[in-house]
Structures are given as C-alpha cells and as structure tokens.
A and B are shown apart, each in its own frame.
Chain A
Amino acid sequence: MAEHTGEPHVSNRFYVVIALILAVLTAIEVMVFYVEALAAVLLPILLVLMAVKFALVVMFFMHLRFDSRLLTGILVWGLFIAVSITLALMAVFGKFAG
C-alpha cells in the first residue's frame, strides 16, 4: 500500500509556468469584475476561476498530483464537509431564497 512520496520529478521551470497561469487567472478575475457586460455571469465565472486556481496550487505546489491518494482524500473530505455545511447554513439563513 506504500506509495511514492517525496519530491516530484518536475523542474523549476514547471513551477514558474504554474505561477504564471495563476497570475494570469487572477488578472482575468479582476478584469471580468470590471466588465459591466459580464455582470450577469460574474458569479459562475469567478467561482470557476477560483476553483481552478485552488486546484492548481494544491495539485502542483502541494504535490497532491504526485503524492499518495490518501492525502487527496483527507483534503477532499475536509472540503466536502466544509462546503456542505457552508451551503446548508446559507440555505437556512435564506441566502438562496432569491
């Protein structure tokens, strides 16, 4: 059951590329925020971009991509409960009532 852990076989360049993508995504986020035309779809866009950035960091900077699946499991469970409770609470407080 022991899996490979420790340093991933990726170069510094790879990390720089990821960082660049992150920077670009952040730039896009801020841009769409200012574009009036997108106001309607702002929410979905921003949430998607946020999720992508999140995923990039945990997968590559935090090595989940190369590390034991167990670690991914731990994070996913934590996130799952956390997000569910957040949504449930907001629902109870009528945040989705429109």
Chain B
Amino acid sequence: MHGPTSTGIPTRKLGMWTFIGSECMLFATLISTFLIYRGRNVVGPYPEELLNIPFITVTTFVLLMSSLMMVLALAAVQRGQRRASLLWLFMTALFGLIFLTGQYIEFSHFVHEGLGLSRNLFSSTFFVLTGTHGAHVAGGVIWLGTLWILALRGRLSPERAETVEIAGLYWHFVDVVWIVLFTIIYLLR
C-alpha cells in the first residue's frame, strides 16, 4: 500500500518496537510494586524460605537459549533454508514451553507450601509479576506455533522473513524482561 517508508524501517517492525517501548512501562510498574512491597509481609511463608535458585537458574538458562534458537530460526528463514527454519522455530517454541512448565512446577510448589495468591504481599506481587511475564511467553509460544505451521506449509519464503523477525523481536524482549526479573526476584535480597 505504501512503498518505501520515510524512515526506511518496515512499518510493522517499527510498530513492534514502539509496542516494546510501551511494554517497558508495563513491567516497570509491576517491578516497582514488587520492590516497594518487598519485606513488608506480615505472615509467611517468606520468599527466602521458598525460592529455589538452582531450579530457576535452569529454566532461566532454557529461556536464554530459546533466544539463540530464535535468531537461528530467523537466519534460516532469511536464507530460505526450510528444514532449518522448521527445526529452530520448533526448538524456540519447545524451550518456551519448557520454561512455562518450570514456572508451573514452581507455582504449584509455592501453593503446596501454603503460599497462595492472596497469602501475603510477596505472593500477590510475585504471582502477578511472574504470571504476567509467563502470559507473554505463552503468547509467544502460540505465535511461534503459527509460524511453524506456515513454514510447514512452505509459506515462509525469505520475502516474508520480516514476519519472523517481528515475532523474534517480541520473543527476545520477553527474554530480556526475564533477565531483569531473574536478578531482581531471585538474586537480589
């Protein structure tokens, strides 16, 4: 509809970036709340009793690596390597799923330990913060799934690589958010 854009940046890509800029504020608000309420719990269980660093380190690693899969997938699509694209897209989504499973295990462990959503300030802030992130991951997985199907149908030609690139931007951003959350929630006390 419109040929070369005034900035030279593809319109949808620019759109994704502006959206990401806005998402920064979204997570900043959640993180602020988490930090403001840290250490104001009146009843336990308290975070230091429950947070399982080694376990989370693993899932964190998985999510990091999913970002690697993502860039490889994009590169493959751009080079028109169909089988590679399929593989890496699949791996990205798979690693995303593994991360979500990890989160599910963690959540159910907390609940089992009596730390329900409305137990204390930590649980409220923790679940909503990590839950929002998890929702973003889930959305990304679904998106990747559709891309994978497109690739399967052979409809991800190099010309349509931009679609994958945009999904990638989103995916990496979700990863970046986790880098921050991992440090703030689990390591900083």
A binding-site residues for B, Cβ under 8 Å: 1-5, 7, 12, 15-16, 18-19, 22-23, 26, 29-30, 33, 42-43, 46-47, 49-50, 53-54, 57-58, 61-62, 67-68, 70-71, 74-75, 77-79, 81-83, 85-86, 89-90, 93, 95
Contacts and interface: CB of A to CB of B under 8 A. Distances in A.
Interface string B17-46: 110111111011101100110000000000
Contact of A68 (B7, B60, B165): B7
Given A89-B36, A95-B36, A19 B67 contact: yes
Given A61-B168, A82-B24, 14 more contacts: A2-B7, A5-B8, A15-B68, A18-B68, A23-B64, A29-B183, A46-B188, A57-B176, A58-B176, A68-B8, A71-B14, A75-B24, A85-B25, A93-B36
B117 interface: no
A58 B21 CA distance: 12
B28 A26 contact: no
Interface of B: 4-10, 13-14, 17-18, 20-25, 27-29, 31-32, 35-36, 53-54, 57, 60-61, 64-65, 67-68, 70-72, 74-75, 78, 161, 165, 168-169, 172-173, 175-176, 179-180, 182-183, 187-188
A9 B64 CA distance: 22
A15 B180 contact: no
B78 to A, nearest CB: 5
Nearest to A4: B8
A64 B64 CA distance: 18
Contacts of B32: 85-86, 89-90
Contacts of B161: 7
Given A12-B75, A58-B172, A85-B32, A43 B188 contact: yes
Interface of A is mostly: helix
B75 A78 contact: no
Contacts of A53: 179
A86 B61 contact: no
Nearest to B181: A50
B57 A30 contact: yes
Contact of A7 (B20, B72, B75): B75
A72 to B, nearest CB: 9
A83 to B, nearest CB: 7
B121 to A, nearest CB: 13
Contacts of A47: 183
25 contacts: A2-B8, A5-B10, A7-B74, A7-B161, A12-B72, A19-B64, A33-B187, A50-B180, A50-B183, A57-B172, A58-B172, A62-B168, A62-B169, A62-B172, A68-B7, A68-B8, A70-B14, A71-B17, A74-B18, A78-B20, A78-B21, A78-B23, A85-B25, A85-B28, A90-B36
